[in-house]
Amino acid sequence: MAKGGEVKLIGGWPSPFVMRPRIALNLKGLEYEFLEEKFGAKSELLLRSNPVHKKIPVLLHADRPVCESLVIVQYIDEAWPSSGPSILPSDPYDRATARFWAAYIDEKWFPSMSGIARAQGEEAKKAAIDLVVEGLSLLEDAFGKISKGKPFFGGDTIGFLDIALGCFLGWVRVTERTQGLKLLDQAKVPGLAKWAERFCADSAVKGVMPETEKLAEFAKLIMAKFGAPPPQ
Amino acid sequence: MVEEVKLFRTWSSPYALRVVWALQLKGIQYESVLEDVSEKSDLVRRYNPVYKKVPVLLHNGRPISESLIILEYIDETWKQHPLLPRDPYARTMARFWAKFGDDKVMQSIWTAFLSEGKEQEAALAEASEHLQKLEEVLRGKKFFGGDNIGYLDIALGWLANLIRVFEEICSLKVVDYERFPLLCAWLKEFSYAPVIKDCWPPHDKLIPKFIALRQLHHAKLSST
């Protein structure tokens, strides 16, 4: 069990990327100090700990910084191997598969989600939505193959790929609400729709998944202030 | 058990080179399947339906794509000549800098290569900033992996080759000795290391290929 003061996480409550290490730390049953950044201003500690990207999240383990959300999740898994369940699968092929889809989510799927809010005009909006739906269909297929009938991508417990995708569920709900859409449609992506409910209800997730109301308010604030969706 | 290891690649891809180096360093027998740069075969489309790109490693019929993911797969499957360090923090830093290499260094150098004038100047300035960070990572080390070539050397290895190609084509100096003495030393050590040096694509084929890419890019810009 990590001693108090040994593990700190610099982050912000609305960020899905910050949620990732928080879920990982919860899964491992590790205590940590959450250092909340004020939106719009970067603290000295953040700039010092992540001089390369100047972004959250940053994990500080005995004052050594780890940056980039999925790199942090892997670090948590490897630094505390006997605490809690394994986050990455044990088989090398399954690990490669989980990493592949996590990279797809970050490089293709999540940017396509942000594309919806950014789209100007009906046609562009429809094209943006189609792209997200196409991605979800790929992920539905992946879920079927990877979970093999179990509740999560990781099997019986939440794993790396669950964390990589699940952190965006709050923002998916905000998008559904503001755009009048149903993205996690039971009819189109039944596996993912049920998985999403299980993920959000999990004890490692519940306390760190922001309420949709609060996120929607935050999104409105950002759009009003910057005229653009929140940065990735 | 006879293992079947196949690598689908193009002759010039720096991403494919990473996989070649890893397989060679570990002494793994494999078959290389050369793909056309512009037209990917049905097999590649089947093995990598999401991106339809190479490199794809096929191990006993199961495909793995994305070069850095393939590197970790190779390291986890064949334990000889480990590529990633054992210590979790050191592993994490190797992953972080490899991602930095792809996201920031590669991007800025590629932009600098394709552009001209003020745009090129700006891209070069950005590339220099990023390269300075890599220079610092090398402090006190012969290779990024320490005394031996490791994951991060392989991930950044393209630098050793393509930077010199770009410098030659654009008549520029990107990694100069004055500002980057450690990177210059590493470029030499890495390029001539056993196994590494045998895999470089032919220099005299690379030059015309990248000249053509640059011309194509400029042609597209002037037609829009």
Share of chain B above pLDDT 90, in %: 80
Q: Which residues pair with A8 in a beta bridge?
A: A33, A60
- pLDDT reading at B170 higher than 70: yes
The structural domains of chain B, with segments of one domain joined by +, span: 5-77, 88-216
- For residue A165, CA distances in Å to A66, A128, A156, B172 come to 21, 19, 17, 43
Task: Work out the widest C-alpha separation in chain A, in whole angstroms.
Answer: 54
Mean pLDDT of chain A: 93
Q: What distance in Å separates residue A55's CA from the closest CA in chain B?
A: 14
From A75, A96, A103, residue closest to B92, measured CB to CB: A75
Averaged pLDDT, A9-35:
96
Instruction: Over range A28-47, report the average pLDDT.
Output: 93
Residue of B nearest to A79 (CA): B88
Q: Name chain B contacts of A92, Cβ cutoff 8 Å.
A: 72-73, 76-77
A74 to chain B, any CB pair closer than 8 A? The answer is yes
Is A47 in CB contact (< 8 Å) with chain B?
Answer: no
**pLDDT confidence tier of residue A4, bands split at 50, 70 and 90:** very low
Residues A214-226 have a mean pLDDT of 86
CB contact under 8 A, B76 and A92: yes
Angstrom distance (rounded) from CA A190 to CA B187: 51
Task: Please give the distance of CA A85 from its chain centroid, rounded to a whole number.
Answer: 19
Smallest CA–CA distance, residue B179 to chain A, in Å, is 19
Average pLDDT over residues B75-90: 97
| Nearest CB partner across the interface for A52, out of B91, B95, B100 | B100
**What mean pLDDT comes out for the span B130-144?**
96
Percentage of chain A lying above the pLDDT 70 cut = 95
Contacts for A196 with CB less than 8 Å, ≥ 6 apart: A166, A169, A172, A184
- pLDDT band of B224, cuts 50, 70, 90: low
Confidence band (pLDDT; 50, 70, 90) for A40? confident
B202 Rama sector, left if φ>0, alpha if ψ -120 to 50, beta otherwise: beta
Q: Decide if pLDDT at A232 tops 60.
A: no
Alpha-carbon distance A118 to A127, whole Å?
12
ipTM of the complex model = 0.93
* Tokens describing residue B91: 């592993």
What distance in Å separates the CA atoms of residue A99 and residue A143, rounded to the nearest whole number? 14
- pLDDT-wise least confident of A88-102, B55-69, B161-175: B161-175
Helices (H) and strands (E) in chain A, counts: 11, 4
> Where residue B65 falls among pLDDT bands split at 50, 70, 90?
very high
In the block, residue with structure tokens 């030659």:
B168
The per-residue pLDDT for B2 is 67
Smallest Cα distance from B62 to chain A, Å: 8
Q: Closest residue of B to A94, CA-based?
A: B73
**How close does chain A come to B151, measured CA to CA in Å?**
15
pLDDT of residue B1: 54
Q: Is A78 on the interface with B (CB under 8 A)?
A: yes
Average pLDDT over residues B4-28: 95
Q: Report CA torsion sign: A162, B84, B97, A78.
A: positive
Point out the residue among B62, B73, B95 whose CB comes nearest to the CB of A74.
Answer: B95
Cβ atoms within 10 A of the Cβ of B224, count? 4
Helices (H), A105-189: 110-118, 122-147, 160-166, 169-179
- Residue B60, phi-psi category: left (phi > 0), alpha (psi -120 to 50), beta (remainder): left
Running DSSP on this structure, what letter comes out for residue B32? E
Which homologous superfamily does the CATH classification assign to the domain defined by B5-77? Glutaredoxin (3.40.30.10)
Residue A138 and residue B50: Cβ atoms within 8 Å? yes
Q: Domain spanning B88-216: which CATH class is it, in words?
A: mainly alpha
User: B95 to chain A, minimum CA–CA distance in Å?
Assistant: 7
Confidence grade of residue A229 (pLDDT, cut at 50, 70, 90):
low
